[in-house]
Amino acid sequence: MNPQAYDAYLHGLYHWNKRTPQDITSAIDYFREAIHEDPNYAAAYAGLADAYELLGSVPYDAEPPRVAMPQAEENAMKALALDNSLAEAHISLAYAKLSFDWQGPEAERHFKQAIELNPSYATGHQWYASYLVTRGRMNDAVAEIGRAQQLDPLSVIILTAAAHIFNQAGQYDKALEQCRKALDLDPNFFLAHYIQGRAYEQKGMLPEAIAEFQKASDFSGGSPITISALGHAYAVSGKRQEAEQLLDQLVSLSKQKYVPAVYMMGICVGLGDNDQALRWLKQALQDRCDYVIYAPHEPGLDSLRADQRFQDLMRQTRLTP
């Protein structure tokens, strides 16, 4: 192995795991450097694919999915062309097939193939667990994220992913437990504060939820997802004026850069404005926002889910029966 390429690849993984848009961009630079040093380095292409997938995904939203995801898929295919036995590349392609192409069966095939090739790949189990959530297979998702945690018990990312999955499964106390473990390792990790706030909100502990969302906003520098979360929490707390101000802030921001429409949708749901919420959901589908694949089982959308228009829109993803 080319030592310069390997060193650049490791630097790429380091920045990719820090999970900020700036670090993900740095990861792309390092993965490209690794490929420059060794054009046949399949793992570096898979790393590049994973980085583009994060840039085009909630909650990082640094690039529109229609810009980022095709680049992710292209690099995943390059990795597989170089080494079809590379589990990381199958996982990269699986997530693109799931979140952007809405090809559930094809995604599952690559997820399973990756885990068969490398059962010790913790991220593979983590992302497969996310796929299982989209299918409503919550018990299987919990078991799968548990395998990821056994393989990498000190990963802040995997602990936070576990909290998200417990939230989706309606197991809010377990979600809070995972968030506390993540925050013990990194007290400033904004995603753990965000997920913790969502668990508190679902338990009806609105002051605690708002406090966590504010921490998440502070640690992320005002990330749009935290603005959305605060807006929804204010709305369900009866603070309509504050919620509407944050909604206006997101709409204004969306005219300057890509802001996932699901963020505006969330505040509208909290305000009880289903018509506007569905309009934003339709926009999210047009944008190919990755988070729409979780909408059929999203606890915060309970009030919207009974609307026939919501069900009709969700069928467009081909992931919902």
Tell me if 158 is assigned to some domain: no
Of 61, 87, 117, which closes a domain?
117
pLDDT score, position 90: 98
Q: Check whether 1 has a pLDDT greater than 90.
A: no
Please provide the average confidence, as pLDDT, over all residues in the chain: 96
pLDDT digits (tens, 9 = 90+) for 221-279: 999 999 999 999 999 999 999 999 999 999 999 999 999 999 999 999 999 999 999 99
Tell me if 155 is assigned to some domain: no
Tell me if 101 is assigned to some domain: yes
pLDDT digits (tens, 9 = 90+) for 117-158: 999 999 999 999 999 999 999 999 999 999 999 999 999 999
pLDDT score, position 178: 98
pLDDT digits (tens, 9 = 90+) for 33-69: 999 999 999 999 999 999 999 999 999 989 999 999 9
Higher pLDDT, 37 or 307: 37
pLDDT score, position 219: 96
Question: How many domains, in total, are found in the chain?
Answer: 2
Q: Check whether 318 has a pLDDT greater than 80.
A: no
CA R_g for the chain: 19
Q: What residue numbers bound the domain in which 65 lies?
A: 1-117
Any idea what the CATH number is for the domain that residue 13 is in? Answer: 1.25.40.10
pLDDT band per the 50, 70, 90 thresholds, residue 320: low
* Dihedral sign for Cα atoms in the order 77, 26, 95, 156: positive
Structure tokens at 187: 């007290």
Tell me if 236 is assigned to some domain: no
Q: Check whether 321 has a pLDDT greater than 60.
A: no
Of 61, 83, 117, which closes a domain?
117
Tell me if 216 is assigned to some domain: no
Tell me if 185 is assigned to some domain: no
pLDDT score, position 319: 65
Tell me if 148 is assigned to some domain: no
Residue 252 and residue 144: Cα distance in Å, rounded? 40
Model-level pTM?
A: 0.94
Residue 301 and residue 310: Cα distance in Å, rounded? 10
Tell me if 163 is assigned to some domain: no
Buried-state track 2-12, b at ≥16 Cβ within 10 A, e below 16: eeebbebbebb
Of 97, 117, 137, which closes a domain?
117
